[in-house]
Amino acid sequence: MEENIKQLTDTTLANIAACDTGAQLNDIRIGILGKSGALTALLKSMKDIPPEKRPEVGKIVNVARERLEAAIADRQAVIEQQELDRRLQSEKIDISIDVPTPCAGGYHPLTLIRNRIVDFFSSLSFVVDEGPEIETDYYNFEALNIPADHPAREMQDTFFVTDKFLLRSQTSAGQIRMMEKVKPPIKMISPGRVFRADEADATHSPVFHQVEGLVVDKGITMCDLKGILDLFAKKFFNENTQTRFRPSYFPFTEPSVEVDASCSQCGGKGCRVCKGTGWIEILGAGMVNRNVLKNCDIDPDIYTGYAFGVGLDRITNIIYGINNLRTVYENDIRFLKQFN
Ligand code: PHE
């Protein structure tokens, strides 16, 4: 009996030492210590042993059981540690690999100039009011003195969404919205995107940007318009910049002008940038047409006003010396990086 127990213990200890999964170890435990395990069977056969020998044999069995239980627990701990190590190894994340450093974002050149224009006019107490990009025919045309059959509609090839709704072709729509909301004195700018069915090329894009300006009060004259635009040009190009008005036509202003700034590149002598003329066109403007004031319930015998529409893309191109409008819209990171 004693010999049996010793042999059983030794082989089992060897098996425990050799096993390397939790499942195997569990099988060994059940095989020896389980209900019908080998050691349990030995204990059951105690009844065949003479009573005087039982305590001694019982002790041997118990010692053997304790040794086996301890060996199983130790092995269990080792196997668990091994399994953990294996998992840590296989799931390890290599944090040493080089990743490209994300570059800090910056403002788009159009946004930079737009913000400067907004700051400039805000400092002169103009309020900023951005109208909707989807407009009604009424705000974009009708109320601006451009009825449905008016040939001036041809000046702007418009994207219509439905018969009544369109993508605004000019920020001038914002003038009407403002004059409906607020009665004079009015001093506002309306920056935003405008849309025209133009083919994209070096100087055209179906989406571009304008900043509309509107001032309505008693006694506003063309001198006020000239003064503010001159200040604007000196601020945005340089202090020697001159402005000139050329007669033009817009249905919503009378008289209407196109405004040129002396070329900041050559100072007006004539160069490649100004195509030898010494001047660069920067915006359209004029005195608000009486009909437009009337459409907004403002009495044109009491109030007068001026309006202007700056091409933001044009100003940006002049300031940064960009000669192809497409560069501004392609968003090539190498181009954009230069502005930060
Ligand atoms: N809305 C005109 C355009 O898009 C510009 C303009 C605005 C002209 C205000 C006069 C007054 O061409």
Q: Give the mean model confidence (pLDDT) for residues 321-337.
A: 91
| pLDDT confidence of residue 311 | 95
Q: Could you say which of 91, 120, 150 is where a domain stops?
A: 91
- Count how many domains the chain has: 2
Distance from the CA of 130 to the center of ligand 1, in angstroms?
Answer: 16
Measure the CA–CA gap between 80 and 84, rounded to whole angstroms: 6
Residues 303 and 165 in one domain: yes
| pLDDT confidence of residue 152 | 80
Residues 141 and 281 in one domain: yes
| pLDDT confidence of residue 244 | 97
Domain span including residue 326: 111-339
Measure the CA–CA gap between 213 and 195, rounded to whole angstroms: 18
Residues 44 and 80 in one domain: yes
Measure the CA–CA gap between 279 and 243, rounded to whole angstroms: 9
Residues 139 and 81 in one domain: no
Residue 102 lies inside a defined structural domain of this protein: no
Measure the CA–CA gap between 44 and 38, rounded to whole angstroms: 10
Under 8 Å between Cβ of 72 and 17 = no
**Residue whose structure tokens are 């000239």:** 226
Among residues of the chain, what percentage have pLDDT more than 90? 68
Residues 81 and 137 in one domain: no
Res 259 pLDDT > 80: yes
Among the listed residues 277, 237, 276, 242, the one whose alpha carbon sits nearest the alpha carbon of residue 259: 242
Residues 244 and 312 in one domain: yes
Distance from the CA of 257 to the center of ligand 1, in angstroms?
Answer: 10
| pLDDT confidence of residue 116 | 97
Res 46 pLDDT > 90: no
In eight-state DSSP terms, residue 6 is H
Residue 105 lies inside a defined structural domain of this protein: no
Hey, whose CA ends up nearest to atom 4 of ligand 1? 170
pLDDT digits (tens, 9 = 90+) for 101-156: 887 889 999 999 999 999 999 999 999 999 999 999 999 999 999 999 888 887 77
Q: What is the CATH number of the domain that holds 333?
A: 3.30.930.10
Average pLDDT, the chain: 92
Distance from the CA of 107 to the center of ligand 1, in angstroms?
Answer: 27
Q: Could you say which of 30, 59, 91 is where a domain stops?
A: 91
Res 20 pLDDT > 90: no
Among residues of the chain, what percentage have pLDDT more than 70? 100
Residues 87 and 115 in one domain: no
| pLDDT confidence of residue 56 | 86
pLDDT digits (tens, 9 = 90+) for 49-89: 888 888 888 888 888 889 999 999 999 999 999 999 999 99
- The binding-site residues of ligand 1, defined as CB within 6 angstroms of any ligand atom, are 170, 172, 212, 250, 253, 284-286, 307-309
Q: Give the mean model confidence (pLDDT) for residues 169-177.
A: 97
Phi first, then psi, for residue 52 (nearest 5°) are -70, -25
Residues 133 and 86 in one domain: no
What is the SS3 string spanning 164-216? CEEECCCCCHHHHHHHHHCCCCEEEEEEEEEECCCCCCCCCCCEEEEEEEEEE
